[in-house]
Amino acid sequence: MSSIFPYRLYLVVSQHDCLGRDIVWVTEQAVKGGVDVVQLREKHLSIADFTATALRLKAMLDTYNVPLIINDNLEVAKACSAAGIHVGTTDIAPSKIKALWPQCGILGYSIEHLDQLYTAEAEHADYLGISPVYSTPTKTDTVTEWGLEGILTIRGLTSKPLIAIGSMNVDNARNVIRAGADCIAVVSAICGADDPAKAAHEIRTQIEKAL
Ligand code: TZP
Ligand code: MG
């Protein structure tokens, strides 16, 4: 298990994905169910609203000792003293982040093709997002799917923690961990569930079975 990223169930959350319910409530339920790391991924909010949401989430998560990671926005990450930042290949380069934000604890980087694994940028990451494992209506600008084969391949090539994202749910979490992922990242199977705590608990149970 990685010391910088020992987490197993990763909630990626936005206000929009919570289907009209408060993001702090949904996230707290998810944490009670077994989520142990959270990423706030807001694509349509102003910086002021993104920051306000981050501060509210951070205050709640601190009481559970669960780290908050901010998607792709250094200003918000700094403003809320987040645990880290997550970027994709078209965002701020990982090689620049620690100079711009020396307090950054966890640096996550999503890879969509195998050649991205071999870049110097990937070397800077504390964990790699395998994006997407399966295509998903939650993020439609993806081109390929890694599938279980992709996870197996990457697992053989790096010792960095691997986070699986894209249509992860209670039915596929176990096989994805068995294929070599360290952590399962979820949006809709938890944020969209009637009972987010129960949904998180069921996925967490499958992860633990596979370890
Ligand atoms: N990156 C790759 S797939 C994805 C992101 C943010 C969305 C995953 O959402 P869901 O609803 O868990 O499939
Ligand atoms: Mg991005």
For residue 98, the tally of other CB atoms under 10 A from its CB is: 12
Q: What are the pLDDT digits (tens) for 77-87?
A: 999 999 999 99
What span, in angstroms and rounded, lies between the C-alpha atoms of 87 and 190?
Answer: 22
Kindly indicate the confidence band of residue 143, based on its pLDDT and cuts at 50, 70 and 90.
Answer: confident
Please give the annotated binding residues, written as ranges: 39-43, 71-72, 91, 110, 136-139, 187-188
Ligand nearest to the CA of 143: 1
Share of the chain above pLDDT 70, in %: 100
70 Cα–ligand 2 center, Å:
10
Q: How high is the pLDDT of residue 171? A: 98
**Atom 6, ligand 1: which residue's CA is nearest?**
139
The yes/no answer on whether domain 9-210 falls in CATH 3.40.50.2000 is: no
**For ligand 1, which residues put their CB under 6 angstroms from it?**
12, 131-132, 136, 138-139, 165-168, 186-189
Ligand nearest to the CA of 90: 2
User: Mean pLDDT across the stretch 98-120?
Assistant: 96
209 Cα–ligand 2 center, Å:
31
Kindly indicate the confidence band of residue 2, based on its pLDDT and cuts at 50, 70 and 90.
Answer: confident
As given in the structure block, the two tokens for residue 82 are 């987040």
Q: Which of 133, 140, 163, 187 to mutate to test the pocket of ligand 1 (most atoms within 8 A of CB)?
A: 187
User: Mean pLDDT across the stretch 44-67?
Assistant: 98
User: Mean pLDDT across the stretch 112-122?
Assistant: 95
As given in the structure block, the two tokens for residue 166 are 């894209």
Q: In sequence order, what are the residues at sequence separation of 6 or more whose Cβ sits closer than 8 angstroms to the Cβ of residue 167?
A: 132, 133, 134, 135, 136
Kindly indicate the confidence band of residue 75, based on its pLDDT and cuts at 50, 70 and 90.
Answer: very high
The residues annotated as belonging to the active site are 41, 110, 139
Ligand nearest to the CA of 89: 2
What span, in angstroms and rounded, lies between the C-alpha atoms of 167 and 11?
Answer: 13
As given in the structure block, the two tokens for residue 191 are 């944020």
Q: How high is the pLDDT of residue 9? A: 98
**23-33 helix and 196-210 helix, angle to the nearest 10 degrees:** 40
Q: What are the pLDDT digits (tens) for 99-108?
A: 999 999 999 9
Three-state secondary structure of the chain: CCCCCCCCEEEEECCHHHCCCCHHHHHHHHHHHCCCEEEECCCCCCHHHHHHHHHHHHHHHHHHCCCEEEECCHHHHHHCCCCEEEECCCCCCHHHHHHHCCCCCEEEEEECCHHHHHCHHHHCCCEEEECCCCCECCECCCCCCCHHHHHHHHHCCCCCCEEEECCCCCCCHHHHHHCCCCEEEECHHHHCCCCHHHHHHHHHHHHHHHC
109 Cα–ligand 2 center, Å:
9
Q: How high is the pLDDT of residue 76? A: 98
**Atom 3, ligand 1: which residue's CA is nearest?**
166
Kindly indicate the confidence band of residue 89, based on its pLDDT and cuts at 50, 70 and 90.
Answer: very high
Domain spans in the chain, listed from the N-terminal domain onward: 9-210
What span, in angstroms and rounded, lies between the C-alpha atoms of 34 and 131?
Answer: 22
Q: How high is the pLDDT of residue 1? A: 73
Please give the annotated binding residues for Mg(2+), written as ranges: 72, 91
